[in-house]
Amino acid sequence: METIAFLPSPSSGEIHLGPIPLRGYALCIILGVFVAVWLGGRRWVKRGGQVGTVADVAVWAVPFGLLGGRLYHVVTDYQLYFGEGRNWVDAFRIWDGGLGIWGAVALGALGAWIGCRRRGIPLPAYADAVAPGIALAQALGRWGNWFNQELYGRPSELPWALEIAPAYRPADTPDVATYQPTFLYESLWCVAIALLVIWADRRFHLGHGRAFALYVAGYTVGRFWIEYLRVDDAHEVLGLRLNNWTSIVVFLAAVAYIVISHRRAPGREETVEPVENGEKEPTTDRTTVP
C-alpha cells in the first residue's frame, strides 16, 4: 500500500544563513542550549538567585555535557567507528549526529557541579531551576535527527510517517520509503515533560533536586517505549536494547531520590545563592516560580 500522506525529510542537512552554511543538527543543539539557559535563568531568579548565574554555570555544564554525550554514543556504538572498513576519525565528527543523553546528563552534571562550586550555590537547587529547560532543549535537539535522517523507527504507513531518502534507509528495507518518526515522538514527549515539571513544581513546591529527578524519571518512561520503535543497530541484553535497561535503572534511581529527598528535606531551599555582601537572599513566593 502506498502512503498517501507523510512527513518529508529535508533535502539537505545544512541550513544556509546567507552565505554561511550551518549544520541543521548543530543549529538544533544551539537553539536548545539557548532555551535551557533562558528558561533556567528566569526560574533561578524567581527562586531568589542572581541574574546571570545560570549562564555562568552553563559555561561549564554545556561543554561537559556535549563531551559526555559524545563519549556515551561512541562507547555504546563503537562498531560504527572502529573495526574493518571504519574510520576512527569519524568519532570526532559530532556535527554528523550521535549524542547519548545519559552521558550528556552525567558529565553535564559534573560540569554543573564545578560551576556551582565556583559560585557557591547548591547543585540540587540549580538542577531544579534548569530541569524544564533541559527537557525543551532535548525537544529541539531531536529535530537534529530529522535533518540527519537518523534514529527513525520501524516501517510505517501512518499519515505522519517519516519519508527517508534511499541513501539513509536500512539495508534490509531499501524499498520502504516511510518509517515511524521517533524523533518527533521524543520531541513531543520532552515538551510534555517540561510542562509536567513546571506544573508539579508549582503545585508541590519541589526542591532539593526533586524537580530535576521528576524530569529524569518522566523522560525515561518515554524513552523506554520509543526505543521499541527504533530500528538502528543497538546492543541488546536479555532481549532488551541497552538504552531500555539504562532507562529502567535511571528511572528507579530517580524515583528513589524523590522519595528519600522528600523525607530528609521537604519543601524548597530557603536560600539558593549568596548575595554580594555575603548574606543569603531569601527565595521569592514559591507559588510564582514557572
**Buried b or exposed e, range 222-258, using 16+ CB within 10 angstroms:** bbbebbebbbeeeeeeeebbebbbbbeebbeebeebb
7 compared with 138, residue with greater pLDDT: 138
Distance CA 92, CA 74 (A): 9
Give pLDDT tens digits for 6-56. 789 887 777 766 777 778 888 899 999 999 999 999 999 999 999 999 999
The answer to whether position 195 is within a domain reads: yes
Concatenated DSSP letters of 140-153 = HHTHHHHHHT-S-B
**Whole-angstrom distance, CA of residue 134 vs CA of residue 29:** 11
Classify residue 4: in a domain, yes or no. Answer: no
User: Is 235's pLDDT higher than 80?
Assistant: no
Q: For residue 1, is it within any domain?
A: no
* Tally of structural domains, the chain: 1
- Longest Cα–Cα distance in the chain: 71
Domain that holds residue 88: 19-288
Half-sphere exposure (CA, 13 Å, Cβ side) for 288?
A: 9
pLDDT average, residue stretch 206-214: 97
pLDDT of residue 99: 81
The answer to whether residue 219 is domain-embedded is yes
* Residue count of the chain: 290
- Per-residue pLDDT reduced to its tens digit, 60-100: 999 999 999 888 888 877 777 877 778 777 777 776 667 88
pLDDT of res. 114: 97
- Residue 13 forms part of a structural domain: no
Q: How confident is the model at residue 274 (pLDDT cuts 50, 70, 90)?
A: confident
Check residue 283 and give its pLDDT.
Answer: 45
Does any domain span residue 184?
A: yes
Higher pLDDT among residues 7 and 1, named by residue: 7
Would the pLDDT of 288 be above 60?
no
User: Higher model confidence: residue 235 or residue 284?
Assistant: 235
User: At 186, phi and psi to the nearest 5?
Assistant: -70, -35
Per-residue pLDDT band at 282 (split at 50, 70, 90): very low
Q: Are 65 and 104 spatial neighbours (Cβ–Cβ below 8 Å)?
A: yes
pLDDT at 290: 58
Higher pLDDT, 146 or 274: 146
In the chain, % of residues over pLDDT 70? 91
Residue 24 lies in a domain: yes
Residue 124 lies in a domain: yes
Q: Which residue has the higher pLDDT, 97 or 154?
A: 154
Instruction: Please give the mean pLDDT across all residues of the chain.
Output: 87
